Amino acid sequence: MQKLIEIINKKRKKAIGLMSGTSADGIDAALVEIEGNGEGTSFRLIEFITHPFPADIQERIFRLFAPSVCPVEEICEMNFLIGDAFAEAALNVVSKAGMKPEDVDIIGSHGQTICHLPDRHPRSTLQIGEPSVIADRTGILTVADFRVADVAAGGHGAPLVPYVDFLLLKSEKSRAIQNIGGIGNVTFLPANCSLEGIIGFDTGPGNMVIDELVRILTKGEKNFDRNGEMASRGSIDKQLLQKLLSHPFIHRPPPKTTGREDFGASFARRLIGSGIEDGDLIATVTMFTSESIYLNYMKFIMPEHDISEIIISGGGLYNHALMGFLRERFYPIPVRGIDDFGIRSDAKEAIAFAILANEAIHGNTGNVPNVTGAERYKVLGKIVQAS
């Protein structure tokens, strides 16, 4: 407890954020210096890496995404193995920064989501990557399991990044911050908004369907459409696009979250064998991501709000075809990359969980109930001391 008090009382803290998303292609590790907390938070990125999962571990993670056929012994063991991998990612980013583990005050670990059931009764979510293993291997106080407190309070447990978007990006302009990772999610910050004024929800697929189809169509030679090159060579199949856009999640009002349960491998595999050329299929599902974002904005944001600018983060920012679709669809609203605002796009979510860890140790709530649907504000995360 004394160690925790010492950390809380520091003016500036070194923190690591660890994040592995729905693509499970590796662990993003951001080492940041954080000053203040709450609305007085500021940060400086010191170092960032993406630590790839070993091929055998990644293969086993993908097997976990089918819980009906995954034995509990596998989940139990993987919880500890992924904890080891997260600890290694943390130690590697510290080493790359030329620092030592004892220089770091806290780790915020999102973990690896293997099941997310926000629409069941009771709602539930499961992220693994044992924080006790991370704390033991690194010797650093670790905060983890951020989503479950919100779910326990009746929320979806996601998205959680809107709170951090509010801390870092609120402005006199009305901004939509659109993350395009495996799943797409938006935080809308009205001009000069309060926490209660935030709108946020998952918009549908981000890169997930595109990536899965690329893996299937290239027989594993590629894991994603680099720079959107395959999509750029294809043509849109309008009939398939309209079918995809009829998916009920796209039209469901917020609060809403989604994941592999809706847009994972089984969804992508159903699109194979339709007689559509490979390039046209990739172009069409890329347009599907763009149009799902646009339709969600039109249905749930723009009827009541003007948008001054749209800020893109996540891997989708580097897909030139996708960005072209978005800019054309939203014209004349500027569509910009989050790098323009001093936040490295590929590091953003890892940075967010470093900041959420800092909020947790200060006893600050980290969810936004009008975004997640929770009944009340909650302090997020479980604190695991290193000794």
pLDDT at 14: 98
pLDDT for 10-33, tens place per residue? 999 999 999 998 777 899 999 999
* Domain residue extents for the chain: 2-158+347-384, 161-341
Using CA of residue 34, residue 36, residue 38, residue 40, what is the dihedral sign?
Answer: negative
What is the structure's pLDDT at 240?
97
The full DSSP string for 239-302 is HHHHHHTT-HHHHPPSS----HHHHSHHHHHTTTTSS--HHHHHHHHHHHHHHHHHHHHHHHTT
What tokens were used for 6?
A: 């010492």
CB 92 within 8 A of CB 78: no
pLDDT at 55: 85
Question: What pLDDT score does 59 carry?
Answer: 86
| CATH tag, 2-158+347-384 | 3.30.420.40
What's the predicted TM-score (pTM) here?
Answer: 0.94
Class (C level, CATH) for 161-341: alpha beta
Average pLDDT per 10 consecutive residues for the chain, totaling 387 residues: 91 97 87 97 97 90 80 94 97 98 98 91 94 98 98 96 96 97 96 96 97 94 95 97 98 94 91 90 98 98 97 96 98 97 95 98 97 97 94
Q: What single string gives the DSSP state of each residue in 7-60?
A: HHT-SEEEEEEEEE-TT-S-EEEEEEEEES-GGG-EEEEEEEEEEPPPHHHHHH
pLDDT at 204: 97
Amino acid identity for residue 223 in this structure: N
Residue ranges in 65-154 assigned as alpha helix (H): 72-96, 131-138, 147-152
